[in-house]
Amino acid sequence: MNAAEPQGRRPRHLTAGRIGIYAFLITAALFFMLPLWIMVVTSLKPMEEIRLGNILALPAAMTFEAWTKAWSSACTGLECNGISVGFWNSVRILIPSVILSIIAGAINGYALSFWRVRGANVMFGILLLGAFIPYQVFLYPLVRIFSLTGIYNSLTCIVLVHVIFGLPTMTLLFRNYYAGLPIELFKAARIDGGGFWTIFLRVILPMSTPILVVATILQVTGIWNDFIFGLTFAGRENLPMTVQLNNIVNSTQGERAYNVDMAATMLAALVPLVVYFVSGRWFVRGIAAGAVKG
Amino acid sequence: MSTVSVRDVTVAFEAVQVFDGLSLDIDEGEFIVLLGPSGCGKSTLLNAIAGLLDVADGQIWINGKNVTWEEPKDRGIAMVFQSYALYPRMSVRENMSFGLKMAKTPKPEIEKRVNRAAELLQITPLLDRRPDQLSGGQRQRVAIGRALVRDAAVFLFDEPLSNLDAKLRNELRVEIKRLHARLGKTTMVYVTHDQIEAMTLADRIVVMKEQKIQQIGSPDEIYHRPANLFVAGFVGSPQMNFIMGRIENTGEGLSFLAGDRRLSLSGYQFATAPSAGQEVVLGVRPEHLEITGTGIWPGFTVDIVEPMGADTVIWCSDGLGSLQVRTTGSRKASPGESLTLQVDSTQVSLFAADTGERL
């Protein structure tokens, strides 16, 4: 009897090595899911249950009390209005910052890759350098500059800071994307009589959808998660959610309300989380494209 | 009067000089082809004429006007690119009317011109499609249409057919030629590395190599009287045969001598007089070698036979060098067969071995 002649689809075998790989992957996935699991179950437990110390156990009496408390009545220092104040502050910071920084980055990237701006390479080099210098270096000088101009501790101030610090990454992102577009398209538009703005708005921008999505993802998550700029520049009235969260977690009278802390943390992480889940494949491209961002 | 005049133009990228004092005059209604291998500067020259590239020195005149400092849109030119460069987010109609809208042309006029161009290029049914719904050939037609509506005096083509497959390339080539004939007084400057396009389309061909013009002439001149070894080798497929040898004076006139093979040069028109004993290269086109029993060069053996349908190319050698012979498609030959070749001295080219210039 001959062995079967190879024909058609190659048969797949489940080898011991393959089982080992899957076992390892599943264990690793469970391990990394553990903190999230603990956060979710803890936030759904009343304090009596938490005191028992079974941190992995499912809640016996499930309650959303901690979530409502975290949202509307947890204490951030002296005031007890919950994290919702910070949420709306963050939204007010986020929207203008994201829009303005993307516009600035897109125009910069367009000018640098299509127009022969004198000293374009030097400019780009300086911008790139800006992406690698730690933010902390700029904090004190910026505080001085802003208080001199009188806009320190305001919404304008924090938005301006986000736009400035978003510039290197956004410019890099858009420049690299535009460098991949055929230069002949730009030449054709110039022969057709388009000027700087017409070509940008009518020809280049309509082709920029993928990179606009990537830029939005990067900026939304980056600015939402920002702590130090918000703390330094936003002023007491505009403190973003991240700063409020820190205040809730760190200002405790008496017993530490773990369930509220967990709920507040998850509320603060909600926006980036939604962005991750909704944007899916775009997000991966964003990470690849923005590989320089720390 | 010439429509396009390039006068002493120097182009420099950063510190590297691309052209140094290049001049070229193009007559009204003329079809000029800039031909050369990649990197020879033909596209750079076209971009300089279009105004997409600043010149470091010299002047560019179009239609009797010095346009050296003018914007591309003000030069009275239209351009077609290799990659079509259609605006991807606009319909064919919007693509074609974009330039006119920029120039604030009245709507009915735009409509009229777009429809006329679409009819001329038979793309009327495609007007409301997007570029990504078109095939390569259709896209290039649209790109030509977009150039057409500008009613420009000068058309610039930057390798417009290089992205197309062979069959479409032939079709569109004929169409461009027809278009030029129909437009009458429109000057066309066409960049290509494809010698067939150059030979079939051009009134005059400008052969370029390493940023220098090698020869300017009609396709016939370029093919039959190449100015130097480069032009001779670049134009023509299969390539011209080159045979190293020297000039000898035998008393009854000059002749070419390579080994024991001899060719009387009594019928050859010298461009510059050679000296006896001078080292030369003899260039013979494959179709100017004839296989006959009574030829002057016996002793060749068939090496490889390439049947191409209409004609057959036979590679043969005599142990010293190998020659390509182009003969009719009906001529059968098999490797190993021995041949005798006849050479017509009025059809050959002679080049100085040291400079490569035509003698």
Report the SS3 class of residue B182.
helix
DSSP string, chain A: -PPPPP-SSPPP---HHHHHHHHHHHHHHHHHHHHHHHHHHHHTS-HHHHHT--TTSPPSS---HHHHHHHHT--BTTB---THHHHHHHHHHHHHHHHHHHHHHHHHHHHHHHS--TTHHHHHHHHHHHHHS-THHHHHHHHHHHHHHT--SSHHHHHHHHHHHHHHHHHHHHHHHHHTS-HHHHHHHHHTT--HHHIIIIIIGGG-HHHHHHHHHHHHHHHHH--HHHHHHS-GGG--HHHHHHHHHH---SS--HHHHHHHHHHHHHHHHHHHHHHTHHHHHHHHHTTT--
Name the DSSP class of B272: S
Tell me: pLDDT of A281 over 90: no
Burial call A105-132: b when 16+ CB within 10 Å, e when fewer:
bbbbbbbbbbeeeeeeeeebeebeebbe
**A192 to chain B: which residues are within 8 Å by CB?**
73, 98-99, 102, 146, 150
* Closest to A248 measured CA to CA, from A92, A73, A37, A48: A73
**The two structure tokens encoding residue B117:** 């161009």
Would the CB atoms of B78 and A191 count as touching at under 8 Å? Answer: yes
pLDDT tens, position by position, B22-44: 899 999 999 999 999 988 889 99
In this predicted structure, what is the pLDDT of residue B2? Answer: 62
Rounded average pLDDT over B327-340: 87
Give the HSE-up count for residue B260: Cα atoms under 13 Å, Cβ half-sphere.
Answer: 4
Rounded average pLDDT over B298-316: 90
* Closest to B6 measured CA to CA, from B21, B347, A225: B21
Rounded average pLDDT over B117-141: 91
pLDDT tens, position by position, B69-100: 999 999 989 999 998 899 988 999 999 999 99
CA pair distance A224, A242, nearest whole angstrom: 8
> Do the beta carbons of residue A73 and residue A85 sit within 8 Å?
no
Would the CB atoms of A184 and B82 count as touching at under 8 Å? Answer: yes
Neighbours of A181 (CB within 10 A): 17
Q: Residue B58: which H helix or E strand, with range?
A: strand B57-62
Question: For chain B, how big is the Rg over CA atoms in Å?
Answer: 24
CA distances from B68 to A90, A164, B6 (A): 54, 39, 10
Would the CB atoms of A190 and B52 count as touching at under 8 Å? Answer: yes
In this predicted structure, what is the pLDDT of residue B222? Answer: 95
**B82 to chain A: which residues are within 8 Å by CB?**
184
What single-letter amino acid sits at B58? G
pLDDT tens, position by position, B239-290: 999 999 999 887 778 889 888 888 888 888 888 888 888 899 999 999 999 8
Q: How confident is the model at residue A3 (pLDDT cuts 50, 70, 90)?
A: low
**A188 to chain B: which residues are within 8 Å by CB?**
79, 81, 85-87, 146
Would the CB atoms of A193 and B103 count as touching at under 8 Å? Answer: yes
pLDDT tens, position by position, A221-265: 999 999 999 999 998 889 999 999 998 888 767 778 899 999 999
Would the CB atoms of A188 and B103 count as touching at under 8 Å? Answer: no
User: In DSSP terms, which residues pair with B12 in a beta bridge?
Assistant: B17
**B71 touches A: beta carbon within 8 Å:** yes
Would the CB atoms of B98 and A202 count as touching at under 8 Å? Answer: yes
Would the CB atoms of B71 and A190 count as touching at under 8 Å? Answer: yes
User: Nearest by CB to B50, which of A182, A185, A191?
Assistant: A191
**B86 to chain A: which residues are within 8 Å by CB?**
188
Could you tell me what percent of chain B has a pLDDT over 90? 56
In this predicted structure, what is the pLDDT of residue A158? Answer: 94
> Do the beta carbons of residue A127 and residue A221 sit within 8 Å?
no
CA pair distance B180, B29, nearest whole angstrom: 8
In this predicted structure, what is the pLDDT of residue B1? Answer: 52
**Which chain A residue shows the shortest CA-CA distance from B81?**
A184
> Do the beta carbons of residue A226 and residue A242 sit within 8 Å?
yes
pLDDT tens, position by position, A211-224: 898 899 889 999 99
Q: At what angle do helices A155-179 and A281-289 cross, to 10 degrees?
A: 90
Q: How confident is the model at residue B331 (pLDDT cuts 50, 70, 90)?
A: confident
Provide the CA B86 distance to its chain's centre, in angstroms: 25
Domains annotated on chain B, with CATH: 2-234 (3.40.50.300), 241-352 (2.40.50.140)
Could you tell me what percent of chain A has a pLDDT over 70? 94
> Do the beta carbons of residue B323 and residue B300 sit within 8 Å?
yes
In this predicted structure, what is the pLDDT of residue B97? Answer: 94
Query: What average pLDDT does the structure give for chain B?
Result: 90
**B135 touches A: beta carbon within 8 Å:** no
pTM reported for the whole predicted model: 0.82
Domains annotated on chain A, with CATH: 16-63 (no CATH), 84-289 (1.10.3720.10)
* Closest to A227 measured CA to CA, from A247, A209, A252, A213: A247
Q: What is the dihedral of CA A17, A18, A24, A26, to 10 degrees?
A: -160
pLDDT tens, position by position, A140-167: 999 999 999 989 999 999 999 999 999 9
Shortest Cα–Cα distance, A282 to chain B (Å): 21
Tell me: pLDDT of A294 over 70: no
Contacts 24+ apart (CB under 8 A), A261-266: A261/A70, A262/A39, A262/A40, A262/A42, A262/A43, A262/A66, A263/A43, A263/A66, A263/A67, A263/A69, A263/A70, A263/A71, A264/A70, A264/A74, A264/A82, A264/A83, A265/A39, A266/A39, A266/A40, A266/A43
ipTM here: 0.85
**The two structure tokens encoding residue B234:** 């670049």
Report the SS3 class of residue B138.
helix
**For every residue of B73-109, which 3-state class applies, written as one string?**
HHCCEEEECCCCCCCCCCCHHHHHHHHHHHCCCCHHH
Q: Residue B6: which H helix or E strand, with range?
A: strand B2-13
Rounded average pLDDT over A20-39: 94
Would the CB atoms of B77 and A191 count as touching at under 8 Å? Answer: yes
**B53 to chain A: which residues are within 8 Å by CB?**
none
In this predicted structure, what is the pLDDT of residue B41? Answer: 87
Report the SS3 class of residue B156.
strand
Shortest Cα–Cα distance, B330 to chain A (Å): 46
In this predicted structure, what is the pLDDT of residue A292? Answer: 40
User: Nearest by CB to B102, which of A182, A187, A198?
Assistant: A198
In this predicted structure, what is the pLDDT of residue A23? Answer: 95
In this predicted structure, what is the pLDDT of residue A290? Answer: 47
Least confident window among A12-26, A279-293, B154-168, B204-218: A279-293
**The two structure tokens encoding residue B69:** 């400092």
Would the CB atoms of A193 and B50 count as touching at under 8 Å? Answer: no
User: Nearest by CB to B88, which of A184, A193, A207?
Assistant: A207
**B102 touches A: beta carbon within 8 Å:** yes
Q: How confident is the model at residue A54 (pLDDT cuts 50, 70, 90)?
A: confident
